[in-house]
Amino acid sequence: MSGTRKLHVKSYGCQMNVYDSHRMADLLAREGYVETAQAEDADLLILNTCHIREKAAEKIYSELGRIRGLKQRAAADGRRLTVAVAGCVAQAEGEEIVRRAPVVDLVFGPQSYHRLPALIARAAAEGRAVETEFPVEDKFDFLPAPARAVTASRGVAAFVTVQEGCDKFCTFCVVPYTRGAEISRPVAKILGEVAALAEAGVREVTLIGQNVNAFHGAGPDGEPWGLARLLRAVAEVPGILRLRYTTSHPRDVSDDLVAAHRDLPKLAPQLHLPVQSGSDRILAAMNRRHGRDDYLRTVDRLRAARPDLAFSSDFIVGFPGETEADFADTLRIVDEVGFAGAFSFKYSPRPGTPAAREDARVPEPEKAERLQRLQEAVGRRQAAFNARCRGLTFDVLLEKPGRRPGQLVGRSPYLQPVQVMAPDRLVGELVPVTVTDLGTNSLFGALAGAGGPGVPASAAGA
């Protein structure tokens, strides 16, 4: 391919999609595409889509409606705009997408990104291309390493996919169908990628996967490595100052992983460990394969290893058959764990999943009412957590200019944005900051001297 073409990628859904979008852009950079922030300028427009809830999936069709106008305007200017739908809606709906939205030229699932140049050529030659097979080869073996210039411009905190797909088959969830079976990337590849990111100025990496703590990638020693061992190795990469991983399943919190939280100061004391519901009955119906007590025990084991660990969760309200008593158990677990934050969702029936076939639907107004009560309960916990941070000193990774002149904004160990008066040269540094004030969506802090009191265990606990 010759000449410069412009690419615009729009990501929806989880961090895996954000990561994939970056890798697609890296791949297409080799083909002569440059990224543009303006969809109107693009020659190739990729929507990297999410199928997790109905609303997420439907959003794509309204977006495609707008894109029809863009395509017509491009044609009037004598340009061809190629429209591609990637990601989980592409995988789940395939041909249906071009039937509903003829503006689409190209549809391809999350495991086919490495074939993108060939698919673009096919769409140009044949007018259209749809690819939703799960290929036998591993896309990661074919995607180029993240480009240095590109990663550098993406800041000091980066995501690295280490595991993909899911074999757990929770009864509400599309991920095992859209992403396919669980696979782990080889350790050497991951470490190479982290080293390249560190060289490009990245200081914090978040290892990501739909079930990241089920990681079991081939190690350089020929043995399968668990996540704990991988974290220990990543912590040794020069330049990496802070580590996170997400999303974890409560079933896969091994003793090794707990020990990593005890032993690795670089591992942030913040863990997203979705529980979905506090009711044993509902957890069983969801096929989560653990009960509320198992979850509470897991939280205790982790807190024993790392007393300042703060937990966040995802919740689903209004799962089929959920009674007021079940929901009361969910409200109770919010207080028992003392979550520092949570995402809560109304149950959304997804095509092809077992729960969608259940008759015992919770009426919409009840779902909405439960969602509101849950969000209030979580909000109170989150506010209490933030309030306990006032006066504490913790390490903030300064990322970029803040809201006001002279300010930088960074992230606390607990992922809260923190606004700090600090010189620009401190971007990319992990510096002790004392929290002076609480804003609505961020904390305000001042640079502290070396040391500081750190976060006492009481800040994270219930």
Tell me the site size for ligand SF4, rule CB under 6 A: 10
What whole-number distance in Å separates Cα of residue 94 and Cα of residue 112? 13
Q: In the window 249-268, what residues touch ligand SF4 (CB under 6 A)?
A: 249
- CB of 82 or CB of 276, closer to ligand SAH: 276
| 53 forms part of the interface with ligand SAH (CB under 6 A) | yes
Q: In the window 309-338, what residues touch ligand SAH (CB under 6 A)?
A: 314, 316
Residue window 3-42: x/- pattern of binding to ligand F3S, with contact defined by CB under 6 A: ----------xx-xx-------------------------
Neighbouring residues of 110: CB distance < 8 A, sequence distance ≥ 6: 16, 20, 86, 87, 88, 90, 91, 164, 178, 179, 180
Tokens of 9: 């990628």
| 345 forms part of the interface with ligand SAH (CB under 6 A) | yes
What kind and span of H or E run contains 439? none
Q: In the window 199-258, what residues touch ligand SF4 (CB under 6 A)?
A: 210-211, 249
348-372 residues labelled b (16+ CB within 10 A) or e (exposed): bebeebbbbebeebbeeebbeebbe
Burial class (CB in 10 A: 0-12, 13-18, 19+), 332: middle
Selected binder of ligand SF4 within 5, 59, 68, 168 (CB under 6 A): 168
Residue with tokens 């109770």: 332
User: Beta strand pairing status for 430-438 and 393-401?
Assistant: antiparallel
Q: Which of 93, 292, 277 is nearest to 174 (CA)?
A: 93
Tokens of 337: 């764990």
Tokens of 185: 């990337």
Closest CB 441 distance from ligand F3S, rounded Å: 23
Selected binder of ligand SF4 within 87, 94, 110, 176 (CB under 6 A): 176
CA 377 vs CA 74, 283, 341, 383: distances in Å: 49, 20, 10, 10
Span interacting with ligand SF4, options 10-18, 138-146, 164-172, 376-384, rule CB under 6 A = 164-172
Q: In the window 175-214, what residues touch ligand SAH (CB under 6 A)?
A: 175, 210-211
Q: Which does 53 bind (CB under 5 to 8 A by kind): ligand SF4, ligand SAH, ligand F3S, none?
A: ligand SAH
| 50 forms part of the interface with ligand F3S (CB under 6 A) | yes
Q: Which residues bind ligand SF4 (CB under 6 A)?
A: 166, 168-170, 173, 175-176, 210-211, 249
Q: Which residues bind ligand SAH (CB under 6 A)?
A: 52-53, 172-173, 175, 210-211, 247, 249, 274, 276, 314, 316, 345, 347-348, 350
